[in-house]
Amino acid sequence: KEKLIIASPDVGGMGKVVFYSSIIGVDMGMFYIRKDYSKKLNGENPIVGIEFLGSDINGKDVIIVDDIIDSGNTIIKTAKELKNRGAGKVIIAATYGLFTNGLDAFDKAYEEGVFNRIYTTNLTYVTDELRQKAYYRTVDMGKQLAELIMAFNLDCPFNNLTDHSEQIRKLLGKS
């Protein structure tokens, strides 16, 4: 626990980070990304600064939690910033992996040791090329999706289907 931090690359992922860090019992942090909204570079507002709000990262493994990997620019810059601050392993976990700019930047970052692994769900299309990458793993959400559909069809409450804190505690041996 002392060697792990759950981090968000931006404000949008903080809810998930707070949830996971509280269940696991580890520190959390967030990056504040300053962008120049007065111009666009390759269709995006350029990043002019990255600040980390959280405890010291040096020597700790970090799990970056985000909702989506689009082009990958932000998540790769976040991982690089973690490494620059002395992070050990960097694991990326995102609900949706779109990889709209392809995989070249991810391949390069992986080869440079910027991150160790990427996990995304199967709630979006995953190419065979991505599946074959040494750094990539798919998280199957089929069972959870089927349970939600069943709850809707039977007009049942689905609160217990969306709260997986007890499952996480069991995996960690805390229940």
Both structure tokens of 18: 């707070």
d(CA 49, CA 53): 13
- Indicate whether 81 pLDDT > 80: yes
Q: What is the pLDDT of residues 64-73, one digit of tens each?
A: 999 999 999 8
Q: Which of the residues are catalytic?
A: 35
Q: Can you tell me the mean pLDDT for 11-31?
A: 89
Q: Identify any residues that bridge with 120 across adjacent strands, giving them in sequence order.
A: 94, 138
Nearest to 78 by CA among 115, 26, 41: 115
Q: Can you tell me the mean pLDDT for 98-109?
A: 96
d(CA 2, CA 14): 20
Give the whole-number percent of the chain exceeding pLDDT 70.
Answer: 95
Both structure tokens of 4: 């792990």
| Contact in structure between 13 and 72 (CB atoms under 8 Å) | no
User: What band does 161 get if pLDDT is binned at 50, 70 and 90?
Assistant: low
**Mean pLDDT taken over the chain:** 89
Q: Which pLDDT score is estimated for 83?
A: 96
User: Over the Cα atoms of the chain, what is R_g?
Assistant: 17
d(CA 83, CA 115): 8
Q: What is the pLDDT of residues 45-78, one digit of tens each?
A: 888 887 899 989 999 999 999 999 999 988 999 9
SS (H, E, C) 76-88: HHHHHHHHHCCCC
